[in-house]
Amino acid sequence: MVELVRAGRSPEEPGGEFEPSPVLGAIRVIHAETDFTYGAPRVHAELPARETKASRNRVARVMREAGIRGVSRCKGTRTTWCGATAPWTR
């Protein structure tokens, strides 16, 4: 199956027609191979090994338009109490 993405800003502009994106195919493969955890920066770092060239912003845009998201790290442990949330102020 070939995915189609917009090449330009609008269909009326030159280059505004839809065209298959080899970048999207490579992104989907990398994302699936990494158990759907890699986001745009890591996917961008993997692209040269696949002999695919794309800027980090393009990778981020294509992933966003295709609904592909990486997994965020957890926020960590909160070690400081702040004002009204401290248990001794209740």
Q: Encode the chain (90 residues) as per-residue pLDDT tens digits.
A: 555 555 555 555 555 544 558 899 999 999 999 999 999 999 999 999 989 899 999 999 999 999 999 998 777 776 776 666 666 665
Domain that holds residue 32: 4-71
Residue 79: inside a domain: no
Token duo for residue 25: 């195919």
**Neighbour-count burial of 50, counting CB atoms closer than 10 A to its CB (0-12 exposed, 13-18 middle, 19+ buried):** middle
Sequence-ordered list of residues with C-beta below 8 angstroms from that of 79, at least 6 positions apart, any chain: none
Would 24 be classed as within a structural domain? yes
What is the per-residue pLDDT for 81? Answer: 65
Tens-digit pLDDT profile for residues 5-19 = 555 555 555 555 445
Within a domain: residue 84? no
Residue 77 lies in a domain: no
Q: Has residue 89 been placed in a domain?
A: no
Q: Enumerate long-range contacts of 42-45, CB under 8 Å, 24 or more apart.
A: 42/70, 43/70
Per the domain annotation, does 35 fall within a domain? yes
How high is the pLDDT of residue 72? Answer: 83
* Number of domains forming the structure of the chain: 1
Bridge partners for 18 per DSSP? 6
Quote the pTM value.
0.62
What is the number of other CB atoms lying within 10 angstroms of the CB of residue 59?
Answer: 26
